Amino acid sequence: MRVGPNTTFPIDWTFQRRDLPVMIIGEFQVWRRIRDVDGAEGWVHQSTLQGRRTVLVRPAGAQEISLRSEPSPDAAAVARLRSGVIARVRECEAESAWCEVQVARHHGYLRRADVWGLLPEEEVK
């Protein structure tokens, strides 16, 4: 991640994990200003970003949560996910409290409140 929108600006630091979700908070030509889950901000070239939507598991007050078979707290648990796990978003309705995600070979539902990487009313299809 660079401190400015050009290759002449120094690299501040480099992401060490693939598919980490980031929020785009600004644009300048082919450069995107992004913010990560920890609030760090900087510039990256648009070619380094993927169109695939991911979220980071961040359960409030817990170290892990259940990936559910249906969008309900009473649905069967498909897997247990620790804080920091990256999930690929398959679908998330704008008004829904639940999002359908995939983690490795597991498909299921997580509460929107337990993940970082989606805006409150954002829809992903």
Mean pLDDT of the 101-120 span: 96
Fold exhibited by the domain 1-50: SH3 type barrels. (2.30.30)
Contact 26, 32 (CB under 8 A): yes
**pLDDT the model gives residue 60:** 85
**Where is average pLDDT lowest: 60-69, 84-93, 106-115?**
60-69
Cβ atoms 99, 110 nearer than 8 A:
yes
Percent of the chain at pLDDT above 90? 89
What's the mean pLDDT when you consider all of the chain? 96
Instruction: Report DSSP state, residue 105.
Output: T
The second-level CATH assignment, the architecture, of 55-116 is Roll (2.30)
Say whether pLDDT at 61 is over 90: no
Query: For the chain, what are the domain ranges?
Result: 1-50, 55-116
- Give yes or no for residue 51 having a pLDDT over 90: no
pTM of the model: 0.89
